[in-house]
Amino acid sequence: MSHCTSKSLTSALAIAAAALAANVAHAEGVEAGTIIKNTAQASYTSGSATKTVLSNTVEIKVDELLDVAVSSQGAAMTSQDTAVFTFKVTNTGNGTEAFNLVANAAVAGNDYDMIVQQIVVDDGDGIYDPTKDTVLSTGTPTSAIVHDGSVTVFVIAKLPEGAADGQTSNIKLVATSDTGTGSAGTVFAAKGDGGSDAVVGASTATQDASQAITASIASLSIEKSATTSDPYGGTQSIPGAVITYKIVANMTGSGTVDGASITDVIPTGTTYQPSSLTLQGTGLSDAADNDAGKASNTDGVAVSLGTVAAGQTRTVTFQVKIN
Domain with 316 in it: what CATH number? 2.60.40.740
Give the residue among 183, 214, 186, 213 at the shortest CA–CA distance from 198.
Answer: 186
Please indicate, yes or no, whether residues 58 and 20 belong to a single structural domain of this protein.
yes
- 76 and 191 co-located in one domain: yes
Q: Between vectors from CA 224 to CA 221 and to CA 230, what angle results, nearest 5°?
A: 170
Task: Answer whether residue 182 is part of any domain.
Answer: yes
d(CA 23, CA 200): 20
Looking at the structure, tell me whether residues 70 and 204 fall in a common domain. Answer: yes
Can you spell out the DSSP letters for 158-171? EPPTT--TT-EEEE
- Residue 15: pLDDT band by 50, 70, 90 thresholds? very low
In a domain, 117, yes or no: yes
> Tell me, what DSSP letter sits at residue 290?
S
pLDDT in tens, 274-285: 999 999 999 999
On the question of pLDDT at 25 being above 70, the answer is: no
Whether residue 182 is found in the same domain as residue 225:
no
- Residue 253's pLDDT is what? 87
Domain boundary among 167, 188, 214: 214
Question: Rounded to an integer, what distance in angstroms lies between the CA atom of residue 270 and that of residue 238?
Answer: 11
Tell me the per-residue pLDDT of 201-253, one tens digit each, with 9 for 90 and over.
999 999 999 999 998 888 899 999 999 999 999 999 999 999 999 999 999 98
Same domain for 157 and 69: yes
Residue 122 included in any domain: yes
Do 208 and 75 share a domain, yes or no? yes
Among 127, 131, 104, 129, CA closest to 116: 104
pLDDT classification of 117: cutoffs 50, 70, 90: very high
Neighbouring-strand partners of residue 248: 223, 315
β-strand pairing of 270-272 with 256-264: unpaired
Within this chain, do residues 79 and 179 fall inside the same structural domain, yes or no? yes
Q: Is residue 302 part of a domain?
A: yes
The residue type at 187? V
Examine the domain organization and report whether 56 and 82 are in the same domain. no
Same domain, 149 and 117: yes
Residue 2 covered by a domain: no
Burial class (CB in 10 A: 0-12, 13-18, 19+), 197: middle
In-domain check, residue 96: yes
- C-beta neighbour count of 319 within 10 angstroms: 21
Q: Residue 273 and residue 278: Cα distance in Å, rounded?
A: 12
Write out the residue range of the structural domain in which residue 223 sits.
Answer: 218-322
Task: Check whether residue 267 and residue 289 sit in a common domain.
Answer: yes
Domain count, the chain: 3
Give the neighbor-by-neighbor strand order of the sheet with 64-66: 64-66, 198-200, 187-188
* Residue 302: other Cβ atoms inside 10 A: 17
**pLDDT attached to residue 222:** 96
Residue 1 lies in a domain: no
pLDDT of residue 191: 96
**Which of 179, 214, 249 is a domain's end point?**
214
User: How high is the pLDDT of residue 81?
Assistant: 83
The whole model's pTM is what?
0.71
* Statement: residue 286 has pLDDT above 70: yes
Pick the last residue of a domain from 44, 62, 80: 62
Residue type, 255: G
Q: Do residues 313 and 279 lie in contact, with contact meaning Cβ atoms separated by under 8 Å?
A: no
Give percent of the chain above pLDDT 90.
81
Supply the pLDDT for residue 135.
Answer: 97
Q: Are residues 50 and 71 in the same domain?
A: no
What's the rounded Cα separation, in Å, for the pair 76 and 71?
A: 13
Q: Do 100 and 160 fall into the same domain?
A: yes
Instruction: Identify the CA nearest to 218 among candidates 175, 256, 170, 272.
Output: 256
The answer to whether residues 316 and 277 touch, using CB atoms and an 8 Å cutoff, is yes
Q: What angle do CA 74, 76, 81 make, to 5 degrees?
A: 170
Tell me, what CATH number does 124's domain have? 2.60.40.10
pLDDT in tens, 128-184: 999 999 999 999 999 999 999 999 999 999 999 988 888 999 999 999 999 999 999
| CA–CA distance, 72 with 103 (Å, rounded to integer) | 13
Question: What is the band of 77 on the pLDDT scale with cuts at 50, 70, 90?
Answer: confident
**Which sign, positive or negative, has the C-alpha torsion 266, 267, 268, 270?**
negative
